[in-house]
């Protein structure tokens, strides 16, 4: 990470934007996960982001730049069997809210991006960090936003120094309903964990 920052300074002279995007998803029922699983999730998703911001903060203060934190719709909604990932993304949303106030006097903007389901290799990595290139996309195609469209929306939000943005339409709907009709999510959560609806443990 230090080498990457040094190379960027050498090649471009200064750093205007730092995107803290480190993450993977660890899933499973709480009683089948260990404390080390949670530590591993936070080491990447939270401390990886913290390291990135820490190494670039002096540059952003000089350039009055932008720190971008890659959150998730899971930072608003914690579903069954996603507690490690959701906890890490809730933590990043809290971090963004704090930094937004702390860094504003120095002219540094903080942008929180919560994508939703975007085309990527993200869902082909298992709980142990192993990439499975032949694993099929578990989501229907109509629900997955292309990487190109997602990137354009992210860049637009960053350059406009938006405080917070949800990229996908389904993500926007989910966050809206969670805020204004939380009983819907409670009902859906109970339905998903009903006997007979248990799914195979992703860790396997």
Q: Are 32 and 201 in contact (CB under 8 A)?
A: yes
Q: What is the dihedral of CA 102, 180, 114, 138, to 10 degrees?
A: 160
- Reduce the DSSP state of residue 145 to 3 states and report it: strand
**Strand intervals (E) in the chain:** 17-20, 66-70, 109-114, 164-166
CA distances from 176 to 25, 65, 110 (A): 23, 30, 22
Does the annotation count 38 as an active-site position?
A: no
Single out the residue of 177, 159, 157, 176 nearest to residue 167, CA to CA: 157
Catalytic residue among 24, 74, 84, 85: 85
| Residues identified as active-site | 85
């Amino acid at each position: 990470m230090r080498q990457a920052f040094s190379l960027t300074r050498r090649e471009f002279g200064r750093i205007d934007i730092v995107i803290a995007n480190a993450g993977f998803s660890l899933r499973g029922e709480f009683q089948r996960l260990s404390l080390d699983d949670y530590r591993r999730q936070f080491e990447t998703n939270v401390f990886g982001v913290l390291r990135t911001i820490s190494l670039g903060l002096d540059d952003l203060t000089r350039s009055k730049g932008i720190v971008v934190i890659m959150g998730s719709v899971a930072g608003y909604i914690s579903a069954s069997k996603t507690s490690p990932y959701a906890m890490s993304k809730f933590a990043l949303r809290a971090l963004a809210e704090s930094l937004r106030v702390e860094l504003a006097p120095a002219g540094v903007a903080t942008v929180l991006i919560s994508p939703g389901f975007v085309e990527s290799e993200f869902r082909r990595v298992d709980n142990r960090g192993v990439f499975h290139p032949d694993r099929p996309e578990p989501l229907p195609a109509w629900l997955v936003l292309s990487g190109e469209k997602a990137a354009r929306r992210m860049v637009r939000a960053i350059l406009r120094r938006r405080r917070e943005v949800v990229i996908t339409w389904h993500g926007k709907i989910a966050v809206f309903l969670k805020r204004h009709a939380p009983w819907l999510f409670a009902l859906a959560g109970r339905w998903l964990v009903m006997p007979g609806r248990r799914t195979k443990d992703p860790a396997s």
